[in-house]
Amino acid sequence: MSLDVPISDQGMTARPVARGMLFLTAGLTGALVMVVEILGARMIGPFFGVSLFVWTALISVTLLSLAGGYAFGGRLADRHPSADWLYGLIAAAGLSLILTTWFKVGVMQLALGFGLRGGTFVAAVLLFGPTLFLLGCVSPFLLRLAAASLSNLGRTAGMLYAVSTAGSFAGSAFTGFYLLGYVGVSQAMRLTGGILILLAVAHFLLARRRAGLWLLLGLLPAWGGNSPLPEVTLADGTRARLIAVREGFYGAVKVVEYQGSAVHTREMIIDGLVQGGMDTADGRSVYEYAYLLSRLPLAVNPHGRSALVVGLGMGAAPHWLFRQGLSTDVVEIDPIVLDMARTHFAFPSSIPVTIEDARTYIARPGKAYDYILLDVFNGDTTPGYLLSQEALRATKARLAPGGVLALNLIGGVAGEEAMLPAVVKTLRTVFTEVETFAAFDQQGGSAIAGNFVVLARDGTLNFAQPPQLDDVHPLAAAVREIARQPAIRVDSAAAPLLTDDFNPLDMLDTRHKEAVRRGIIESTPREILLAG
């Protein structure tokens, strides 16, 4: 079935447009709008983290761009009611999406100057605003072309919106459940842009064969291909090489190797945040927090025999506990992290790892542990639902009598938006004793913000013996001095109590998160940070 539609206000007519082609266009563009929105969060993630701010920015920009596209597209459709214009806009949307993979580095660097909230919005507008605006123009064009008369306008509009919404559902489900687990973000962006271009090419091949062929030949180079894994030489001569990258359902996992005259290390990066690093020669961690997280609980309770580590990372903490003879279990949500840890960080297969969300694992009745180590990050922040009062009560229920909970946290200890006071206040409603230790050298001053290890227990938190730090790597040698620092006093009186109903962790420590992101960008080559 086809419809004859005018292509201009001068009464010219276009070739018949198949109604099926119009409905296919509605479903496909509806699906790809959602694909762009979900992929956009993953593209911005390495610079800004996959946080509430990123999703807020992407959703806001999507709605704003679509609204502008609806308004502009409606006026354009009345002036030029032509399928050629419609599919020209779709081709432009595909090309602009492909171009995001070329310009993302420069855009991210520019956006970072606007802070964490403003930067995510600026990055989303510049990278995805044009594509989403052009896709917003599609709906009014489709309605203008598909409505044969005013008598069936409502039915036609309803069917188009239904097909488009069904496409959005399919695009969301396919991207979230399948695409991101098997295809890198840049490749998925090029694929999405390519589908839009092919849709336009299909129209022009059917309607104007020569024009369609030229469009296809002209745009093929823009699709590009997979780039090789980057290798960069730093200013001091150290060679930084990305040796593995995989996109998963929970974030992009990368393994970066640094080789220089005095450096032979390997790091795991998840969503742009370094999750651990080791010396490739002996497997020892090169970060202080990894030693404190695993050693301080044993210094408090030297006689424990079992441990649960929540959040695997490269596996430094559970591997050391296992070597001390402890019965060690790990719960990790992302199977890709486990595969990377075993493949690139020598994490032994003899340590059992359960692939599951930590909250559901802990909430189930099961084995009681002498130590529970919580080392989980989503972007820059430990997920709030693991630090609520309800979650911590469930965690305490999995501790044996006298057991110790240790948490690796990044945040501030003072100020209205500091995170640590809220976490400490919540912990104090569940445990009788809570102590906070800086995982960095305070250099004679007081800790303001950084990496902290927090211990919680029903019972004294005094050290029964000094922490075991005989095997510390030279790059982390400062941990011996750090371990001698007294616990940090955290004033939590004015802090909010974290519950499942009210948990503002994503809104806290934004300035510190910006500083962390700047540090990552300055220390990690941009080619590696945004590869994938």
Q: What residues contact 359, with CB distance under 8 A and at least 6 apart?
A: 385, 386, 391, 394
Q: What is the mean pLDDT of residues 282-292?
A: 94
CB atoms under 10 Å from CB of 483, counted, come to 21
Amino acid at 508: L
Distance between CA 278 and CA 276 in Å, rounded?
7
Tokens of 284: 């020892």
CATH of 287-461+473-512 among 3.90.640.10, 3.40.50.150, 3.90.1010.10, 1.10.10.10: 3.40.50.150
Residue 423 pLDDT: 97
Read off φ and ψ for residue 269, nearest 5 degrees: -120, 125
Amino acid at 413: V
pLDDT-derived band at 156 (thresholds 50, 70, 90) equals confident
Read off φ and ψ for residue 227, nearest 5 degrees: -80, 150
Residue 13 pLDDT: 40
Query: C-alpha dihedral over 182, 184, 187, 190, to 10 degrees?
Result: 100
* Sequence spans of domains, the chain: 2-223, 287-461+473-512
Q: Average pLDDT of the chain?
A: 86
- Residue by residue, what is the 3-state secondary structure of 343-381? HHCCCCCCCCEEECCHHHHHHCCCCCEEEEEECCCECCE
Tokens of 325: 């003879």
Distance between CA 142 and CA 25 in Å, rounded?
8
| pLDDT tens-digit map of 3-12 | 444 434 333 3
Residue whose C-alpha is closest to residue 422's, from 433, 411, 407, 438: 411
3-state class (DSSP) for residue 248: coil
pLDDT over threshold 60, residue 236: yes
| pLDDT tens-digit map of 209-221 | 655 555 555 555 5
Distance between CA 154 and CA 74 in Å, rounded?
16
Ranking 261-275, 467-481, 517-531 by mean pLDDT, the lowest is: 517-531
Residue whose C-alpha is closest to residue 319's, from 343, 344, 291, 351: 351
- Provide the CATH number for the domain formed by 2-223 in this structure: 1.20.1250
| pLDDT tens-digit map of 106-149 | 888 788 778 777 888 999 999 999 999 999 999 999 998 887 55
